[in-house]
Amino acid sequence: MNDIQQFFLSHLHPIINSLIALVLAPVIGGLLMGLDRKLTARMQGRMGPPLLQPFYDIFKLFSKESMVVHRPQVIYAVCHLLFMMLTLVMLVTGQDLLLTLLVHTFAAISLVLGGMSVRSPYSWIGSQRKILQILAYEPVLILLVLGVRLLNGSFWGINVLQSDTPLIQSMPLLFLALISVIAVEMGKSPFDTASSHHAHQEIVRGINLEYAGPYLALTEISHLYETAIAFGLVLAFWHTCLIGGLVLAVLVFFCLALVDNCFARLTPAWLVRYMWLVPLALALANLICLWR
């Protein structure tokens, strides 16, 4: 067997898996967002938009004129999307979870820098609130990665899929902490301090205020990837049974929609206090149990 054959045999499947994930993730994310809007409308006694409305919105944004307030905005929007795509590829191929978390943080920071590259006070406030969100949920994600390290003896994500026992069996408290992180990243009430997709909560969308047209579409596609990644992590907690993972994801999806419609947005300071008191305490308790 020559070197070329060995290369394709050893690397073909990860490449194909990555390409499939890059194509399917925004589709899945868009369907989840459309279903979320529909479910939210039903809870509020409305018909709601079509299921494919997130895709209609993105196509419409791409058809609009390209307008930019400050040229670096474009660079940061592209970096935000590329880092989010790289995060997905690293998860799909089972790379180092600590490095994957770092890349995901770079994606969030790129969005923050894009919001701060203009002089709009609303955009600056949204960026500052996004920084507080990162400060609030990053410790929980770090403890989640450390929990995987204690459980499998390695930071590599591929070891999680090769395990015979689901993560939720050994890390139930970390799973509950992860749900709060997903609520923050998806902009669910009461955690949607940086921006919101719901018109009844915010007219000026904070950190995304100065993005328009195709560049706003890039940030929306990044959000589709982020949504797909979040529920992919939920599925990974029960990777030994696809039906069990899907049931778990459906329960989390419904609970997030229910909480989103039962609570109003609270302050950024409350968000940090809550994330550091409740989810972080749950994560630490689970980590102590794994250590023992």
The full 3-state SS of 58-113, as one line of letters, equals: HHHHHHCCCCCCCCHHHHHHHHHHHHHHHHHHHHHCCCEHHHHHHHHHHHHHHHHH
pLDDT in tens, 233-263: 999 999 888 888 899 999 999 999 998 888 8
Flag whether pLDDT at 199 surpasses 60: no
Most confidently predicted of 17-26, 161-170, 194-203? 17-26
Say which range, 86-90, 107-111, 125-129, has the weakest mean pLDDT: 125-129
pLDDT in tens, 131-173: 999 999 999 999 999 999 998 888 898 888 888 888 999 999 9
User: Where are the domains positioned within the chain?
Assistant: 19-291
Q: Which two tokens stand for residue 193?
A: 């301090």
Summary mean pLDDT of the chain: 86
Flag whether pLDDT at 207 surpasses 50: yes
**Mean pLDDT, residues 263-267:** 80
Say which range, 21-25, 64-68, 194-198, 240-244, has the weakest mean pLDDT: 194-198
Instruction: Provide the pLDDT for residue 9.
Output: 44
Give me the long-range contacts of 12-21 (CB less than 8 A, separation at least 24).
14/92, 14/93, 17/92, 17/93, 18/89, 18/92, 18/93, 21/88, 21/89, 21/92
**Mean pLDDT, residues 33-61:** 91
Do 43 and 54 contact (CB within 8 A), yes or no?
no
pTM of the predicted model, to two decimals? 0.90
Flag whether pLDDT at 203 surpasses 80: no
* 278 confidence band (pLDDT: 50, 70, 90): very high
Instruction: Provide the pLDDT for residue 196.
Output: 56
* 5 confidence band (pLDDT: 50, 70, 90): very low
Is cis: bond before 50, omega within 30 of 0?
no
Name every residue whose Cβ is closer than 8 Å to that of residue 8 and which is 6 or more positions away in sequence: none
pLDDT in tens, 91-110: 998 899 999 999 999 999 99
**Mean pLDDT, residues 16-32:** 92
Say which range, 88-97, 115-124, 202-211, 227-236, has the weakest mean pLDDT: 202-211
* 195 confidence band (pLDDT: 50, 70, 90): low
Distance CA 115, CA 106 (A): 14
